[in-house]
């Protein structure tokens, strides 16, 4: 398994409880693919550099995980289908 960093921007219309459940759902996506989330860092609500889907702010969350390479397409598909996630980025870490 390789180490990845998953950065997610969640819609600002989401309440705090729903934000926690969205992060838990992302962890579940990783676990379903056979991965393991090693670190979760929630940055909170921040202003976006440019509007995304007519939103000017969003909740930022950064997860570090060990994910098998074969599970990445399914993880990205689930993130695209999630209505609360307005933008995501998966980056492989060189460790």
* Each residue's pLDDT tens digit, 48-57: 999 999 999 9
**Residue labelled with tokens 């990783």:** 30
Domain range spanning residue 66?
Answer: 2-92
Instruction: Tell me how many domains the chain contains.
Output: 1
Rounded to an integer, the average pLDDT of 41-47 is 93
Percentage of the residues of the chain whose pLDDT score is greater than 70:
99
Longest dimension (CA), the chain: 37
pLDDT at 95 over 80: no
Q: What is the pTM of this model?
A: 0.88
Q: Find the CATH number of the domain harbouring 83.
A: 3.30.70.60
The DSSP symbol for 71 reads G
pLDDT at 38 over 90: yes
| Average pLDDT over all residues of the chain | 92
What does the alpha-carbon distance between residue 84 and residue 90 come to, in Å, rounded to a whole number? 17
């Amino acid at each position: 398994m390789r180490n990845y960093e998953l950065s997610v921007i969640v819609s600002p219309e989401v309440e705090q409880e729903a934000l926690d459940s969205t992060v838990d759902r992302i962890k579940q996506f990783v676990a379903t693919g056979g991965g393991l989330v090693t670190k979760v860092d929630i940055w909170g609500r921040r202003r976006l550099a440019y509007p995304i889907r007519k939103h000017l702010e969003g909740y930022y969350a950064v997860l570090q995980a060990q994910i098998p390479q074969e599970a990445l397409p399914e993880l990205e598909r689930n993130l695209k289908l999630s209505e609360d996630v307005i933008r995501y980025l998966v980056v492989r870490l060189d460790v």
